[in-house]
Amino acid sequence: MHPALTGTVAIVTGAGRGIGAAVARRLAESGATVAATDLDGAAVRGLAASAAPLPAGQAASGSITGYPLDVTDAADVESTVDRVEAELGPVGLLVNVAGVLLPGPVAGYTDADWARTFAVNTTGVFYPCRAVTGRMAGRGGGAVVTVASNAASVPRVGMAAYAASKAAAAQFTRSLGLEVARYGIRCNVVSPGSTDTPMLRTLWTDDSGPAATLAGQPEAFRVGIPLGRIAEPDDIADAVLFLASPQARHITLHNLCVDGGAALGA
């Protein structure tokens, strides 16, 4: 366990699968008391049960407790943060991972898909940040890490809404960091590239998907991955853990790109 995270209460959104689940596990392994939240309550309850089964109503350092949460519902966010603090203790870390990817060209993109993309990827960062940092401020410290995307800095064909929503989330998080730095709260961003998650696999139509991701798509103005591998969720979780830890105590407003060079350092 990382001694400085032992006892830290952390909320992770979108923890039901993929990167969010990896982040929740990594934080728990490092000593944090993790509130794993997701719209799929069954998924985070399953994650909690598989990670560290505990008697009902109990939590401890290095544990995961699952909470259903709709990050697009302000009232649900506030009540869930209240519940987490009542049951686990004051929140010292928020990791925003919840996200959706609804690809498609702008000309055919529906109003509903646009609204859903921004509701989850952008507003779904704003609500938890507002709820948690407001409480952190009175306690004199804390950390926020938002998982965005390298698409926020590099245009992607068929992903305009996703890219725009992630860019908004990243810039919101960094701007928030300016406002709350005076309270000792650090706000940083991790921007993954292609990562082996259920979200990425929805973009693969056949067995050639992984190879095409590595090679790139010149017709879509997309380079491949210079390091020659697709990230695992744990690669992203390790970056989150670093920015959440005291090893990053003098880092705030930073955007750490974890994509094997796919965005060419953008």
Domains in the chain (CATH in brackets) are: 9-255 (3.40.50.720)
Give the global pTM: 0.92
Show the low-confidence residues of the chain (pLDDT under 50): 1, 53, 55
Q: What is d(CA 124, CA 140) in angstroms, rounded to the nearest whole number?
A: 24
Q: Is 26 left (phi over 0), alpha (psi -120 to 50) or beta?
A: alpha
Active site residue 162: yes
Q: What is d(CA 35, CA 13) in angstroms, rounded to the nearest whole number?
A: 9
Asked whether the beta carbons of 102 and 113 are under 8 A apart, the reply is: yes
Q: What is d(CA 188, CA 74) in angstroms, rounded to the nearest whole number?
A: 22
Give the tokens for residue 57.
């109503």
Q: What is d(CA 191, CA 133) in angstroms, rounded to the nearest whole number?
A: 21
Closest CA to 243 of 187, 205, 191: 187
Q: Which of 67, 109, 127, 162 is catalytic?
A: 162
Mapped onto helix, strand or coil, the DSSP state of residue 221 is coil
68-to-10, 37, 44, 52, 262 alpha-carbon distances in Å: 15, 6, 7, 18, 34
Q: What is d(CA 101, CA 21) in angstroms, rounded to the nearest whole number?
A: 17
| Residue type (1 letter), 260 | G
